[in-house]
Amino acid sequence: MATATTFSVQRFAQQLATQSVLWLMRQGLNLSSFIAQKATGRWAFQVFCTPRGTSPKPKESQILASAKRWELPYTSLLGTSKTLVGYSWNEMGEKTVLLVHGWELHAGRMTPLVEPLVKQGYRVIAFNAPAHGTGADRSSGTWTNGVEYAWAVNQVLSAHSDHTQLHGIVAHSIGCLATSYALAHYNREGARKVVFIAPPSRLADFLFVFQTMTQFSKRVMAMLTTYFETTYRTKVREFDMRHLVRSIDVPLLFIHDKGDSVCSFDYTTSVVAEAPNAEFMQTENLGHLAILRSPEVAERIITFLTDSVQREYSTEQYQSVTSAV
């Protein structure tokens, strides 16, 4: 009983502290919006772009530890030196598949797909998005956004295109938005096939949710939007997968659960309607995260990437391939 009470008190204290910080931040930004508009927009934007850190689970850490770890230095869109931390499995694979994780997650969350792909002979690579990951595996910086994430995806695509043929991309959640933006704006020939799992809605909807959570004023949110659009010379409305997929001229597979409480299933149906050469797999009772651990989902991805051709391995070949996981 004492432990439960202590936990409840600690949780209440944490929630109270969070609410206090938000209140002070909200009051400060609302006041500064009448004094320093550009600075207010920048500060609000950095709050919006700061993800919370999450650590891999034991099984995820185990699979990450079996990979070849790599680092990729690059320059951000704002001219800052950054370094992405990534992993690769089955270096001898003839075709490469890139895994792209969601917001406030990490490469480890995509690891349930590693073994099924490696068993099919693929070389698999994954990386922590900017400002994601923990400890030594955290990518540079403490904040990022959709444009910078898309630019990071492009850096990984470019860096690995000469190693083996980049056959496919499998992206989850906001990783889908970053991937679609990267392919539409930076690297139209980045992959031969793309899988979007539980794709998100428009960036405008994320901003709406952010305002609902923080209760920032409309004036502050307008300055945030202006700062973003001026800094990156793009528009919030451009971050809409319904528009982006029209520029991606490769086979696409969308996978979404009807009960997803994070990203709208109905929105995905409208995206699929706009996408050329798109297939759609609907699931039930998996939600937003468990969908990545579903054997049926992994099988559908393999079928899509391999054109329904299942490879056969001898015992020796199978042991050689799976030893990379």
Q: Where are the alpha helices (DSSP H) in the chain?
A: 2-32, 37-48, 58-65, 114-119, 146-160, 174-185, 203-214, 218-232, 241-244, 265-274, 295-305, 315-322
pLDDT tens, residue order, the chain (325 aa): 344 444 444 443 444 345 666 667 776 776 777 787 888 989 999 999 999 878 999 999 999 999 999 999 999 999 999 999 999 999 999 899 999 999 999 999 999 999 999 999 999 999 999 999 988 888 888 999 999 999 999 999 998 766 555 899 999 999 999 999 999 999 888 889 999 999 998 899 889 988 988 889 999 999 999 999 999 999 999 999 999 999 999 999 999 999 999 999 999 999 999 998 899 999 999 999 999 999 999 999 999 999 743 443 333 333 443 344 4
For 173, the 3-state DSSP assignment is coil
Is the CB of residue 291 less than 8 Å from the CB of residue 197?
yes
pLDDT at 116: 95
Instruction: Establish if 296 belongs to a structural domain.
Output: yes
pLDDT at 166: 85
- Predicted confidence at residue 111, as pLDDT, reads 97
Is residue 232 domain-resident? no
Indicate which CATH number applies to the domain containing 189: 3.40.50.1820
Give the tokens for residue 114: 């590693």
Residue 183 inside a domain? The answer is: yes
Please check whether residue 321 is in contact with residue 121, taking contact to mean a CB–CB distance below 8 angstroms. yes
Exposure on the CB side of residue 243, measured as CA atoms within 13 A: 10
Indicate the residue type of 64. L
Residue matched to tokens 């934007």: 45
Give the per-residue pLDDT at 38. 86
Domain count, the chain: 1
* Structural domain contains residue 302: yes
Residue 247 backbone phi and psi in degrees, to 5? -95, 0
**Does residue 216 fall inside a structural domain?**
no
Does residue 190 belong to any structural domain of this protein? Answer: yes
The answer to whether position 27 is within a domain reads no
What does the pLDDT read at residue 267?
94
pLDDT at 165: 58
- Report the pLDDT value the prediction gives residue 15, as an integer from 0 to 100: 45
Query: Of the candidates 135, 128, 262, 152, which has an alpha carbon nearest to the alpha carbon of residue 201?
Result: 262
Hey, what are 112's tokens? 């349930």
Q: For residue 17, is it within any domain?
A: no
Kindly state the tokens that stand for 144.
């990022």
Strand-pairing partners, residue 171, are: 100, 196
Rounded to 10°, the helix 218-232/2-32 angle is 70
Closest CA to 248 of 301, 185, 170: 185
Contacts of 73 by beta carbon, 8 Å cutoff, 6+ apart: 81, 82, 83
| pLDDT given at position 54 | 86
In which domain, by residue range, is 59 found? 53-201+239-322
